[in-house]
């Protein structure tokens, strides 16, 4: 499935909503689903849950980062505007909270990419521990695995990461880089 330029979490959210939730309309697909192909139905529900879960999490995050205060603006109707709204709602907060927000947005972006079949995005991050480029996505265990043998524990078990950990590491590195460049 070709997804074009999917470089931002917001763009991925838009593409998932547009192409993955109800691709090509529901007619023939719905018929097939009714007959036997339950995976198709399950996938579509997965996508729906994914979208709803992402937006709900962003909404809750805006509130919790602002200590429960009601948002200045209601959440926009367009899904792809969710992150812009979340950033605007929390742009007055200290750096620690803004980094926590950015890590959630980034982690959602990774989840979007994986859902869209672009798990290779994981390889484009250094391992948070050994800082080499050997990360892969284990789709069965739903975790990130470092293939560097030197990174494994004493029993040879590879180091693993959650998407949350990978996103937090990415945002931390990004902020250090920004700090160093200025």
Is 130 a binder of Zn ion (CB under 5 A)?
Answer: yes
For the bound state, the minimum distance from the C-beta of residue 104 to Zn ion, rounded and expressed in Å, comes to: 23
Is 147 a binder of Zn ion (CB under 5 A)?
Answer: no
Size of the site for Zn ion (CB under 5 A): 7
The 3-state secondary structure of the chain, one letter per residue: CCCCCCCCHHHHHHHHHHHHCCCCCCHHHHHHHHHCCHHHHHHHHHHHHHHHHHHHHHHHHHHHHCCCCCCCCCCCCCHHHHHHHHHHHHCCCCHHHHHHHHHHHHHHHHHHHHHCCCHHHHHHCCCCCCCCCCEEEECCCCEEEECCHHHCCCCCCCCEECHHHHHHHHHHHHHHHHHHHC
Sole binder of Zn ion in the list 148, 152, 164, 173 (CB under 5 A): 148
Is 127 a binder of Zn ion (CB under 5 A)?
Answer: yes
Sole binder of Zn ion in the list 43, 118, 129, 174 (CB under 5 A): 129
Please say which residue, 6 or 159, places its beta carbon nearer to Zn ion: 159
Please say which residue, 32 or 149, places its beta carbon nearer to Zn ion: 149
Sole binder of Zn ion in the list 22, 87, 136, 151 (CB under 5 A): 151
Is 144 a binder of Zn ion (CB under 5 A)?
Answer: no
Please say which residue, 30 or 152, places its beta carbon nearer to Zn ion: 152
Binding site for Zn ion (CB under 5 A): 127, 129-130, 146, 148, 151, 159
């Amino acid at each position: 499935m070709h997804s074009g330029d999917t470089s931002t979490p917001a763009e991925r959210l838009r593409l998932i909503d547009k192409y993955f939730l109800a691709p090509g309309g529901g007619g023939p697909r719905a018929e097939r689903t009714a007959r036997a192909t339950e995976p198709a139905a399950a996938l579509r529900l997965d996508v729906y849950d994914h979208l709803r879960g992402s937006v709900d999490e962003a909404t809750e995050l805006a509130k919790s980062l602002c200590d429960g205060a009601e948002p200045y603006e209601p959440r926009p109707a367009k899904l792809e505007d969710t992150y812009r709204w979340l950033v605007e709602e929390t742009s007055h907060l200290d750096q620690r909270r803004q980094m926590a927000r950015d890590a959630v947005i980034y982690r959602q972006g990774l989840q979007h990419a994986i859902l869209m079949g672009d798990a290779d995005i994981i390889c484009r991050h250094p391992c948070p521990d050994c800082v080499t480029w050997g990360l892969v996505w284990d789709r069965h265990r739903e975790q990130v695995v470092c293939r560097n043998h030197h990174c494994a524990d004493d029993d040879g078990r590879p180091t693993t990461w959650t998407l949350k950990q990978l996103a937090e590491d990415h945002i931390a590195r990004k902020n250090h880089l920004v700090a160093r460049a200025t």
